[in-house]
Amino acid sequence: MKVDDLEIKIFDTRQEMGLNAANMVADKIRELQQTKDSVNIIFASAPSQNEFLAALKEEKGITWEKINAFHMDEYVGLPDDAPQNFGNFLKVKLFDFVPLKSVNYLNGNAENIEAECDRYALLLEENPIDIVCLGIGENGHLAFNDPHVAFFDDPLIVKQVDLDQACRQQQVNDACFDTFDEVPQMALTLTIPTLMKAKWAFAMVPGEKKAQAIYHTVAEEIQEEYPSTILRKHPNAILFIDKASSGKLKEISSYSQA
């Protein structure tokens, strides 16, 4: 299935989805490492990435010592050791298992948040991103670019944002927090243009709760109200979904089969 420039791959289960996504990402890493001294990758932090990350760390032939790792967002104000912190999530899911060249964490507890955004922006400018591995939120967000702060022409590279109600509720739906009030109201995020500058984009989005967001991604006009629709303009983007998250696509009669 292909919509505009976005290739879509549908699998029966999220396990199959994760394995196939990991294999394709690993293939791209291995290809890049034949000609590049280092490969720069942004990773997403969410339960939707579990199967992909578990499979990626088992892939053979990746020279992890030549990979600079980044993550795309972080809560503001959680304790440094909180398991919900996205840096900690990636640490226990992937970073602790592979000998990366560098791991670059966003600090949501920095004394000066604006300076922290500038620091991380400089790192991204110094290390142009080759690959972004991302998800799509229930509200269609990419990273923490919820619809009200998702600017396709955002002049910033990294910024502080307030999280909308749907975004915060998703963190409870995903069992990351017990209650809505526990979810932080603020976060740091890489902006839409920053994510879109990656040469290759791989989006892993399983689960029934994401079916509406996948429908919007495919069916709506490309617009900031549905941030994930911008993926349809990326020249090298692949969306990996499972049977559950693809459930509403049968309602679309105009998509092309590829």
| pLDDT tens per residue, range 31-89 | 999 999 999 999 999 999 999 999 999 999 999 999 999 999 999 999 988 988 999 99
Query: Within 13 Å and on the Cβ side, how many CA atoms surround 151?
Result: 10
Separation of alpha carbons 164 and 116, rounded Å: 22
Instruction: Tell me: pLDDT of 129 over 60.
Output: yes
Q: What is the pLDDT of residues 148-187, one digit of tens each?
A: 999 999 999 999 999 999 999 999 988 889 999 999 999 9
**Burial call 133-165: b when 16+ CB within 10 Å, e when fewer:** bbbbbbbbbbbbbbbebbebebebbbbbbebbe
pLDDT confidence band for 229 (50 / 70 / 90)? very high
Task: Write the DSSP string, 141-185.
Answer: -BTTB-GGG--TT-S-SEEEEEPPHHHHHHHHHTTSSSSGGGS-S
Cα–Cα distances in angstroms (integers) from residue 67 to residues 29, 70, 100, 106, 227, in the given order: 9, 10, 6, 17, 28
Instruction: Tell me: pLDDT of 254 over 70.
Output: no
Overall average pLDDT of the 121-143 stretch:
97
pLDDT at position 258 is 39
Instruction: Tell me: pLDDT of 257 over 80.
Output: no
- Token duo for residue 172: 């409870």
- Of 249, 219, 222, 240, nearest to 49 by C-alpha is 240
Helix (H, G, I), strand (E, B) or coil at 204: strand
Instruction: Tell me: pLDDT of 252 over 90.
Output: no
Instruction: Tell me: pLDDT of 253 over 80.
Output: no
CB 192 within 8 A of CB 141: no
Overall average pLDDT of the 211-232 stretch:
98
Using DSSP bridges, classify how beta strands 186-190 and 158-162 pair: parallel, antiparallel or unpaired: antiparallel
Angle at 47 between CA 43 and CA 49, to 5 degrees: 40
- Token duo for residue 225: 């109200």
Instruction: Tell me: pLDDT of 232 over 60.
Output: yes
